Amino acid sequence: MMHYIIRPMEHKDIPQVVQIDREAFPGEWVFRSQSAYERDLENPSIRNIVACTKKERRESGERAVQLPWFKRLFGHERQLNPSEYIVGFSGFWIMMREAHLIAIGVRNGYRRLGIGEGLLIATIELAQEVNANVVTLEVRASNVIAQALYKKYGFQVVGRRPRYYSSDGEDAIIMSTDNITSMPFQASFQQLRKVHAQRHPELLLQIH
């Protein structure tokens, strides 16, 4: 089983995150360049997280062979080095105790594996840690799959931005949670988090 970790973004992750950004949001990725992410990591009002997997590969580029740990300590097997592969990312900025979700992006081939939902869970938890009361976002009017996920986690439609997306002029739906520190929200959120963890034990959150 492949194992995934959700953790804070680091500078070394930026090139891969830019790749995912371009792939997940074609036509809009140019507004989130590598230099933009570098600035984000220095901005105390912005939080970025990534989902990654650790793979082993030979320095020669050959496909890694899984071996017992004691064999990897000797001979040419020491050439096996861990390498993180970023499969998704999420980011939000904080203003006046509101966390505004910038984007959740997952690589093609890694979708429908619970990674996007895991990133959303981690985003909400991180928003709580920075004392945000609500989480808001914009989502394409046509992206009903994402809207369904957000509604599952307590987001409600609160408005619409006509022709918000510059690539094609599509409208954006504005969605927002109730107070994420309230007992009703927390009861629902913790139950959803528990169910997700049971379904996806391969996904580990390490945002603290």
DSSP states of 126-185: HHHHTT-SEEEEEEETT-HHHHHHHHHTT-EEEEEETT--TTT---EEEEE-S-TTSHHH
Q: Give the span between the Cα atoms of 208 and 189, in whole angstroms.
A: 18
The yes-or-no verdict on residue 178 having pLDDT over 60 is: yes
Residue 171 corresponds to which tokens in the numbers above? 């409208």
Total of domains in the chain = 1
Strand order in the sheet with 98-106: 156-161, 172-176, 134-140, 98-106, 80-95, 46-58, 4-8, 203-205
141/206: higher pLDDT: 141
CATH of the domain at 44: 3.40.630.30
pLDDT at position 83 is: 65
pLDDT at position 29 is: 52
When pLDDT is averaged across residues 28-44 and rounded to a whole number, the result is 81
Q: How far is CA 12 from CA 119, 139, 194, in A?
A: 19, 28, 31
Strand, helix or coil for residue 50: strand
73/186: higher pLDDT: 186
Q: Look at residues 190, 208, 206, 196 and name the one whose alpha carbon lies nearest to residue 129.
A: 208
pLDDT at position 167 is: 80
By residue count, the chain amounts to 208
The yes-or-no verdict on residue 70 having pLDDT over 60 is: no
Is 138 annotated in the active site? Answer: yes
Catalytic residue among 4, 37, 117, 138: 138
Q: Give the span between the Cα atoms of 41 and 46, in whole angstroms.
A: 7
Q: 23: exposed, middle or buried (C-beta count within 10 Å: 0-12, 13-18, 19+)?
A: middle
Catalytic residue among 150, 153, 165, 202: 150
Domain boundaries, position 14: 4-205
Lowest pLDDT segment from 31-45, 55-69, 173-187: 55-69
Record the pTM.
0.84
